[in-house]
Structure 1
Amino acid sequence: MTIEVGSKIEGKVTGITNFGAFVELPGGTTGLIHISEIAEDYVKDVNEHLKLNDKVLVKVINVDDKGKIGLSIKQAVNRPKPQQQRRIPQISMDDKINQFFKDSEEKLAAIKRNQESKRGGRGFKR
């Protein structure tokens, strides 16, 4: 059987390491599921998600020049696409504080200009 990138195949877990799991595919070839491709959530220990001889559905995500096969469990699952939602921009507290200081400085500058014009401005001698 030819292994093609993008195909979904069922295989059997034949080895577990701290960086992923090896899966035997039909035809006797073996591929690796990297720890980052096991589940959507953070995976600290592969053994919490997979056991030896588990049958898993995987997606072939790459085949390199040396014949190494990269697999993914999380990409093999068909997830519905999230609905497009109109996002309301979130304004952080830092943005609000910065805007407050900017507005305050502008108001103080306007008040000073107004007071100087009433007193005759700078350098005016009576």
Structure 2
Amino acid sequence: MSIEVGSVVEGVVSGITNFGAFIELPEGKTGLVHISEVADVYVKDVHDFLAEKDKVKVKVLTIDEKGKIGLSIKQTQEKKPEEHATTQQHAATNNSSFRTPRPARGPRDFRKPNNRFNNTSASFEDKLSRFLKDSDERLTDLRRKTDSKRGGRGSRRSD
């Protein structure tokens, strides 16, 4: 079987680095699976997913003019989350070097629910006065905190 872009081949992990894993392919060629192409979840350490001499299916992504082969493991896996979890559990029982990764965290929303100014029954002037009062309080708090870090008011020395 010829190694072409888009083909899926089986290979053996020949080396692991902090940026990915080298896979020995048929015909004596070697390709690289970048850390971002190891799994569908965030991969902090490739060792959590692969060990040397593991057999893996990889998809050929790129072959450049120098002969470097870019590979992907995650593109060979199906996208079903239930099946992905059972595959990881199955692999964990069959391969002692496989550790299940922590669950991926989604994007966080750090904004607080801010319903102070969304009262539709209040007039514009009421909303504006509440906003100005809140803004003034926040600026006062900020000044207090930054002044204390600078040594308070009047702490500048004139040289």
The normalised TM-score by structure 2 is 0.53
CA deviations on 1:55-75 (whole Å, 9 max, x unpaired) are: 001111111121111111111
Percent identity, aligned pairs only, is 54
Greater strand percent: which structure?
1
CA deviations on 1:53-112 (whole Å, 9 max, x unpaired) are: 10001111111121111111111112249xxxxxxxxxx834x55544x8734476xxxx
**What is the root-mean-square deviation of aligned Cα atoms in Å?**
2.5
Structure possessing the higher relative contact order (Cα contacts under 8 Å, 6 or more residues apart): 1
Q: Which residue of 2 aligns with 1:10?
A: 10
Is there any run of 5+ residues in structure 1 with no aligned partner, and where? 82-91, 109-126
The normalised TM-score by structure 1 is 0.65
- Rg comparison, structure with higher value: 1
Q: Which residue of 2 aligns with 1:21?
A: 21
- Number of paired residues? 97
Greater helix percent: which structure?
2
Is there any run of 5+ residues in structure 2 with no aligned partner, and where? 82-111, 127-159
User: Which amino acid in 1 is paired with 2:122?
Assistant: S
Q: Which residue of 1 aligns with 2:77?
A: 77
Q: Which residue of 2 aligns with 1:104?
A: 122
Secondary structure in 1 matching 2:47: helix
